[in-house]
């Protein structure tokens, strides 16, 4: 197994992260392997959250999409404009290929069909709408003061981030700073939807090891409190592969006051 002796930062991802290996491991079809029980947990949480009709608006930003589109399937009915993003060039290219329906793009149909079956909607209609509503696929760097530099993005009604901050930040101070930058992408009163993992120090894709910042629920709740967010829900899901590793899904509302 290839390992890094230090925290695997952005350049390591640019050089070593294989988007197809990642998607084939987790996103082929729900229930196909132990690894994507986590995916089912996330898809069901997202579906339940957006099905309430409470979280809607003009724009949604996903910070750190990786090469995936699964996090915005349930959201696409409720927002006119979706902005996806990632640091790794190959990840953004995978998203663009799917949005343009290019030959050889990753097959997201099984995941879309799973979501649509839960929600009683047409998978073909949702697929078309999702492609239409993804307006931008931007490069993002959580460690930069302007995450989307040189682009300037208006604050959104909703921000989603999934398994991103832990992978990008090597210590708790940088995690807090990145969390604050994500919060600034939201308009006052906007909703933050976050998926993360507690108790994790690394993960592997195709025998390549990537670092993960070990955080706790107390860390996340403390940051949310300091940023004046109100938590609406906080769900946890124990991982299948290691003890003390727990995935979480949270929804929080940003204060109407400006941070």
* DSSP H/E element including 42: helix 37-51
Q: Which tens digits make up the pLDDT trace of 72-88?
A: 999 999 999 999 999 99
Identify whether the C-beta of residue 184 lies closer than 8 Å to the C-beta of residue 227.
Answer: no
Provide the CA 219 distance to its chain's centre, in angstroms: 19
Residue 2 in this model has a pLDDT that exceeds 50:
no
Locate all alpha helices (DSSP H) within 140-229, ordered by sequence.
165-168, 172-183, 217-226
Q: Does domain 10-254 have CATH number 3.40.50.150?
A: yes
91 is in an annotated binding site: yes
Question: What value does the CA radius of gyration of the chain take, rounded to a whole number of Å?
Answer: 17
Q: What is the DSSP letter of 168?
A: H
Identify whether the C-beta of residue 159 lies closer than 8 Å to the C-beta of residue 61.
Answer: yes
Q: What is the DSSP letter of 72?
A: G
149 is in an annotated binding site: no
Residue 244: the pLDDT is: 75
Q: What residue segments make up the domains of the chain, in order of their start? A: 10-254
- Both tokens of 39, joined, read 């995916």
Residue 32: the pLDDT is: 52
Closest CA to 80 of 126, 140, 130: 130
64 is in an annotated binding site: yes
């Amino acid at each position: 197994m290839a390992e890094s002796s230090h925290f695997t930062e952005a350049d390591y991802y640019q050089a070593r992260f294989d988007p197809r290996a990642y998607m084939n491991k987790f996103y082929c079809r729900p229930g196909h392997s132990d690894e994507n029980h986590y995916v089912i947990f996330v898809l069901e949480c997202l579906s339940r959250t957006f099905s309430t009709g409470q979280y809607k608006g003009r724009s949604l930003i996903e910070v750190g999409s990786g090469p995936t589109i699964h996090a915005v399937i349930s959201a696409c009915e409720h927002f006119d404009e979706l902005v996806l993003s990632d640091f790794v060039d190959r990840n953004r290219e995978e998203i663009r290929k799917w949005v343009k329906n290019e030959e050889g793009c990753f097959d997201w149909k099984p995941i879309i069909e799973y979501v649509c079956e839960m929600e009683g909607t047409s998978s073909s209609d949702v697929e078309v709408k999702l492609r239409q509503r993804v307006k931008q696929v931007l490069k993002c760097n959580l460690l930069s003061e302007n995450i989307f530099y040189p682009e300037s993005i208006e604050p959104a009604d909703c921000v989603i981030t999934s398994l991103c901050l832990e992978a990008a930040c090597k210590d708790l101070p940088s995690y807090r700073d990145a969390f604050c930058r994500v919060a600034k992408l939201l308009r006052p009163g906007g909703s933050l939807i976050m998926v993360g993992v507690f108790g994790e120090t690394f993960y592997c894709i195709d025998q390549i090891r990537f670092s993960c910042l070990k955080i706790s629920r107390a860390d996340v709740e403390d940051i949310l409190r300091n940023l004046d967010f109100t938590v609406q829900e906080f769900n946890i899901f124990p991982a299948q592969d290691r003890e003390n590793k727990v995935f979480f899904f949270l929804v929080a509302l940003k204060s109407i006051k400006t941070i």
